[in-house]
Amino acid sequence: MKLNLDTTRIARCRECAGDIADTIMEGVNRVTTTTIERTVCRLIGIDGVDSAGVPLPNVLVDMLHEAGRLASGAACYVGRAIVATGLSPQAIAEKVAAGEMDIVSFDSVEHDLARAALEDLVAKGIARIEANAERRRELMEKLSPGIEPLIYVIVATGNIYEDVNQAQSAAKAGADIIAVIRSTAQSLLDYVPYGATTEGFGGTFATQENFRIMRKALDETSLETGRYIRLVNYCSGLCMPEIAAMGAMERLDMMLNDSMYGILFRDINMKRTFADQHFSRMINAFAGITINTGEDNYLTTSDAYQEAHTVLASQFINEALAHRSGLPDEQIGLGHAFEIDPAMTNAFLYEVAQAQMARDIFPNEPLKYMPPTKYMTGDIFRGYLMNGMFNLAGVMTGQSIQLLGMLTEAVHTPHIHDRYLAIRNAKYVFSTARDLGCEMTFKPGGIVETRAQKVLDEAAVTLEQVREIGLMAAIEEGVFAGISRAPDGGRGLDGVAEKADDYWNPFEDEISARLKKNGGGACD
Amino acid sequence: MTKVDLKNIRPYGDTLDDGKVQLAFSLPLRYGPEAKEAARQLAIEMGFEDVDVVSAHDLGGSFSFFVVYGKCKHSVDVTQLHIPKVEVEQMDYFQTNDFIRDKLGRKITVVAACTGSDAHTVGIDAIMNMKGYAGEPGLERYPWFRAQNLGAQVPNETLVAKAIDADADAILVSQIVTQKNVHISNLTRLVDLIEAEGIRDEVLLICGGPRISHELALELGFDAGFGPGTLPSHVAAYIAQELVRKEHRTSARLAEER
Ligand code: B12
């Protein structure tokens, strides 16, 4: 540890966060959601859309939900239909969509038979995810996995084929990680769009086909450059576990997956989000996908200096919940950001304090460091320097994933040369100051150390308060990002159902068993 | 020093009228002498002389990036420019409150929102929120303002309905996302809606955002537009002064009619 932080205080924060997460998990374990059941459908091989363009998993699950049958889970209904008709899940979904079959008409088929009928399909779904994780391990061994801080850039043209051009260019210039930013408001769609897409707004739709197209392109570039280029997309929104499953099937390497982002920033119902994030993180965990949490977002609406402790408190909570979904530390990319007002004297010292503190407190986690955005203006020259300072803070405090700032942040989504210049900036700073962190100690009781300890103390107070009243009430009080959300407010609550006694989710069971066997975190 | 000719303004590097300009762009061409020459010729087409491609980079196969210097041969006649500016005499928080009390004698009601699919709240909050922005209190803190902030992603219809309900003196709209000119179509629709409701003459219509200028606002049928770096006091002072001007205009018109 480089900053002489109070270790009992850190332990206390973890304990609080653990209790907070346990309370949340009690609620999570009692319910399922429409998107969780659609995920099960997808993993047993249901894909495609009906004649009106509605994804078949939605058609099937909506029908179950309308019939009040969500409580038992989609799997047993599909299983029963297989036993009764001998058809594949895909054929069953197609018939249901065409109005030729009633999915709840096979109640006479015994539950055990239904389970047995799905056994092979579940094994196949699991094997596909495992094979992808294995393939990633192979490629990482064969090619270079990159040196930390890994260089992470975004593409966001709206057209997946144009994104490929931008991504390959960035990878060749030195990017290790490519994130395809999603189209505005995709997170509020209660379905996942289908097929390759060429029109998006502020980003490109996350579809399984788009994942496949970009994965293939980046694999080509990986072989060409000798570096494994990681691919990122977003689990957040109303379809967290479905997108996690698609990412697992198409070998994404990282996914944005925050336990509270949807609640705070997209006004998605909290019961829905907590349930969805849990199953989606289990899938991420099993697929070897590193999650990225979204604490940086708090600082877009709150002041980064005043509210720094809420970032740390949230990191503890995100960590505790991630552990409960079976994610090991190595796959928990906690987020934070370089967003202090640059007009403040010693702002850089406070940034270093925050970044070093996160590194000290979460030593094994691949921290994801976000660049200055809020104080970026049309002055691209000053912005380029701010990004240089951000890169310096990143390399000297040992950050794992550096999301590069763009000099044109306040103007537009990045152009091809904005990204190129950002990569040149990062490569220069990372190289010129590569071992600066190892050479440096902080003055005991100095500005940096004092600031970090203060933030830790304040986070501890916040976590105690949250434990006292519960996370849901804390969110209602606006503890995070100054945004208040009610437990029964927000979108998607109508897609939450209490589980019945006979509830069955074969993938949750199987993944949970495997994660335990692999020695990952104990999964609730 | 030679005198600046306002009728023929050119870019300035280190000598008057040297016309020096720097620019940077990419071409969808494989890096090489041809790409570099293409960049040079393009700059000449843009109206530059003495073009110098000072830096050229390979953007990974099928794209190249250039930094180019040139001398601009065009000029602008500044004496012919007419830029509309928001008509406002600078006043601080206290001055504005006193002004409203003395000149208007009643509270001003404003309704604000960030409209359409735009979810960016920070800009409108900066103007409206109690806690304010850049050390200045927001409109909600002004005792002589009744300020209501509806937040982000508010449909135009909702904003107009709320404004009518509140009998608002002013409607404040924020537009941050400008991709594919969504802000233009969104703001235009708001004006149409307000005209259709027949309340255009009763409210001050004000928009703001990083890509908004007063000129653009006027063009779109607004009373005023505020761009980057706007402070709450600018907006408060403008609203107060404009409402007083408006009252004068109305009473003058009524007097004339009588
Ligand atoms: C913070 C932020 C976010 C936050 C917003 C949080 C929130 N609750 O507001 C989050 C993370 C949610 C977000 C999301 C997105 N964002 Co955003 N975001 C920003 C960012 C970094 C800062 C904006 C900001 O807060 N500025 C600070 C405020 C104080 O400044 P301001 O808004 O200009 O306001 C001032 C003036 O303009 C004026 N003003 C503004 N409004 C009004 C109104 C009135 C009446 C008046 C008088 C004055 C006034 O006064 C204010 C004070 O001076 C900008 C980049 C940047 N640096 O500008 C991108 C940016 C605006 N976002 C962008 C994009 C594309 C998005 C997304 C579409 C990304 C995606 N694919 O999901 C989504 C859109 C979601 C949606 N539906 O709108 C683009 C927009 C590109 C464009 N030109 O259209 C930008 C420029 C970033 C980029 N380069 O890509 N974003």
How far A343 CA sits from the closest chain B CA (Å)? Answer: 11
Q: For residue A404, what is the DSSP state?
A: -
Average pLDDT over residues A165-172: 95
Q: Could you tell me the CA-to-CA distances from A143 to A167, A254, B99 in Å, in that order? A: 18, 18, 70
Give residue B249's pLDDT: 87
Name every residue in A having a CB less than 8 A away from some CB of B: 165, 168-173, 184-185, 201-202, 265, 300-301, 374, 377-378, 410, 412-413, 415-417, 420
Residue A152: partners with Cβ closer than 8 Å, 6 or more residues away? A175, A176, A177, A178, A179, A232, A368, A401, A402, A403, A404
Average pLDDT score over residue span B11-33? 96
Angle at A152 (CA atoms; ends A311, A17), nearest 5 degrees: 25
The CATH number fitting domain A146-450, selected from 3.30.930.10, 3.20.20.440, 2.40.40.20, 3.40.630.30 = 3.20.20.440
Q: What is the pLDDT of residue A185?
A: 78
Mean predicted confidence (pLDDT) in B23-44:
97
What ipTM, to 2 d.p.? 0.90
Please write the tens of the pLDDT for every residue from A348-371.
Answer: 999 999 999 999 999 999 999 999
Asked if A281 and A21 touch (Cβ cutoff 8 Å), the reply is no
**For A473-514, how does the pLDDT look when each residue is reduced to its tens digit (9 = 90+)?**
999 999 888 889 999 999 999 999 999 999 999 999 999 999
pTM: 0.94
% of chain B at pLDDT higher than 70? 99
Q: State whether the beta carbon of B206 lies less than 6 angstroms from ligand 1.
A: yes
pLDDT (tens digit, 9 = 90+) per residue, A440-480?
999 999 999 999 999 999 999 999 999 999 999 999 999 88
Does A405 have pLDDT greater than 60?
Answer: yes
How far is the centre of ligand 1, averaged over its atoms, from the C-alpha of A135 (Å)? 39
Write out the two tokens for A230: 């990681």
Which residues partner with B224 through β-bridges?
A: B206
Residues of B in contact with A168 (CB under 8 A): 60-61
Residues 6 or more apart whose CB falls under 8 angstroms from that of B118 comprise B152, B153, B174, B175, B176, B177, B182, B183, B186
So where are chain A's domains?
A: 146-450
Closest CA to A286 of A38, A514, A119: A514
- pLDDT (0 to 100) of residue B60: 85
Distance CA A232, CA A211 (A): 9
* B178 CA: distance to closest CA in chain A (Å): 9
State the pLDDT at residue A56.
Answer: 98
Cα gap A479→A469, rounded to integer Å: 11
Q: Tell me whether residues A184 and B117 touch, CB distance under 8 A.
A: yes
Q: Which pLDDT belongs to residue A455?
A: 98
Which tokens is A266 given? 């997209």
Q: What is the 3-state secondary structure (H, E, C) of chain B?
A: CCCCCCCCECCCCCCCCCCEEEEEEEECCCCCHHHHHHHHHHHHHCCEEEEEEEEEEECCCCCEEEEEEEEECCCECHHHCCCCCCCCCCCCHHHHHHHHHHHHCCCEEEEEEEECCCCCCHHHHHHHCCCCECCECCHHHCCCEEEEECCCCECHHHHHHHHHHHCCCEEEEECCCCHHHHHHHHHHHHHHHHHHCCCCCCCEEEEECCCCCHHHHHHCCCCEEECCCCCHHHHHHHHHHHHHHHHHHHHHHHHHHC
Beta pairing, strands B64-72 & B48-58: antiparallel
Farthest CA pair distance, chain B: 79
Query: For position A209, what pLDDT does the model report?
Result: 98
Helices H, strands E: what count in chain A? 20, 11
Give me the residue from B24, B122, B179 closest to A417, CB to CB. Answer: B24
pLDDT per position as a tens digit, B110-150? 999 999 989 899 999 999 999 889 899 999 999 999 999 99
Q: B57 and chain A: CB distance < 8 Å anywhere? A: yes
Residue by residue, DSSP assigns A234-287 as E--STTHHHHHHHHHHTT-SEEE--SSHHHHHH-B-HHHHHHHHHHHHHHHHHH
Among A413, A415, A418, say which to mutate for ligand 1: greatest number of ligand atoms within 8 Å of CB: A413
> For all residues of chain A together, what is the average pLDDT?
95
Contact across the interface for B61 and A416, Cβ inside 8 Å = no
Mean pLDDT score, A152-164: 95
Q: How confident is the model at residue A522 (pLDDT cuts 50, 70, 90)?
A: very low
Percentage of chain A beyond pLDDT 70 is 99
| Residue pLDDT, tens place only, A291-340 | 999 999 888 888 999 999 999 999 999 999 999 999 999 999 999 999 99
Output the pLDDT for position A424.
98
Tell me the average pLDDT across A264-283: 96
Q: Using a CB-CB distance cutoff of 8 angstroms, which residues of chain A are in contact with residue B25?
A: 417
The residues of B annotated with a catalytic role in the active site are 131
Residue A63 reports pLDDT greater than 70: yes
B65 close to A (CB below 8 A): yes
Report helix, strand or coil for A35: helix
Is residue B61 very low, low, confident or very high in pLDDT (cuts 50, 70, 90)?
A: confident
* Shortest-distance Cα residue to atom 59 of ligand 1: A410
Give the pLDDT band (50/70/90) at residue A519: low
